[in-house]
Amino acid sequence: MMTALSVQNLSKTFTMHLRDGIILPVVANVNFELHPGECVVLGGPSGAGKSSILKMVYGNYGVDAGAIQLRHHDKIVDLATADPRTVLTLRRDSIGYVSQFLRTVPRVSALDVVAEPLVIRGVDKTEAQAKARELLARLNLPERLWSLPPATFSGGEQQRVNIARGFITHHPVLLLDEPTASLDATNRAVVVAMIAEKKVAGVALLGIFHDEDVRIQVADRIVDVTAFAPKVAA
């Protein structure tokens, strides 16, 4: 089977420079693969390292060892060792990320925040905005908010802007960090349906979902992160 993403022997420690350089091992020897059309959920208790793995896979956290092999057009690129410019190209074309919280930019309207990933890929602005409207309507974001910057929006409103922004493109790999955490039941169901549609479209999804209901509905497989707990030296 074709692989969209292959994570191999990934290890990460945090060095606390302000605490005498104390070293905190987080995960070691993380291994899993992601195939087109499936949603893999990272499981395990709080603090097990789920978010850290997601941030490494997106290139936000550096890794100490291991490879993150991502399919990029017809090549395989190792995101763990890619230079920053390459990481930006991978993010534009091959890997998307819905973070838990929206990073708001002053003065940019919700509509433009959502349309932006298409615009930077060269899609005509009118067309990108039409698609953004469609997504915001589907996620029940009140139309009166579309022209406003999301900085003052409620947690759930910001999360829906973030989801629309992450889902507007068709990245072959899509990472989801608790995309439904602040949503009501109606909007959770919309997101579950949107994830199902991504799977049908052949997208490979990797996510964290604390809500068990949502997890059961979206997960094809659970990767238990406790299996990657670092061995503590005796």
Name the site residues for ligand ATP (rule: CB under 6 A).
Answer: 14, 24, 26, 44, 46-52
Give dist(CA 151, CA 115) in Å, integer: 17
Token pair recorded at residue 8: 């191999």
Minimum distance, C-beta of residue 161 to ligand ATP, in the bound complex (Å): 21
Q: Closer to ligand ATP at the Cβ: 30 or 115?
A: 30
Q: Determine whether 126 is exposed, middle or buried from the number of CB atoms within 10 Å of its CB (0-12, 13-18, 19+).
A: exposed
Tokens representing 97 are 């990320």
Report helix angle 125-138 to 110-119, nearest 10.
130
Q: What angle do CA 59, 61, 63 make, to 5 degrees?
A: 95
Of the two residues 61 and 86, which places its CB atom closer to ligand ATP in the complex? 61
For residues 110 and 158, give the distance between their C-alpha atoms in angstroms, rounded to a whole number. 9
Q: Nearer Cβ to ligand ATP, position 60 or 152?
A: 60
Answer yes or no: are the C-beta atoms of 82 and 89 closer than 8 Å: no
- Residue 123 CB, shortest distance to ligand ATP, in Å, is 33
Nearer residue to ligand ATP within complex by CB, 46 or 126: 46
Cβ closest to ligand ATP, residue 51 vs residue 158: 51
**Which residue in the block uniquely carries the two structure tokens 């309507």?**
137
Buried b / exposed e over 165-188, threshold 16 CB at 10 Å, is bbbbbebbbbbbbbbbbbbeeebb
In the complex, minimum distance from the CB of residue 69 to ligand ATP, in angstroms, rounded to a whole number: 21
Report the 10 Å Cβ neighbour count for 33: 17
**Closest approach of ligand ATP to the CB of residue 32, in Å:** 15
Q: Which is nearer to ligand ATP, 51 or 180 (CB)?
A: 51
* Least gap, CB of 58 to ligand ATP (angstroms): 13
Quote the least distance from Cβ 152 to ligand ATP, whole Å.
26
Listed in sequence order, the residues at least 6 apart from 18 whose beta carbon sits closer than 8 Å to its beta carbon are: none
**Shortest distance (Å) from residue 214 CB to ligand ATP:** 14
Residue closer to ligand ATP, measured from CB, 46 or 186: 46
Going by the DSSP 8-state scheme, the letter that residue 60 receives in this structure is S
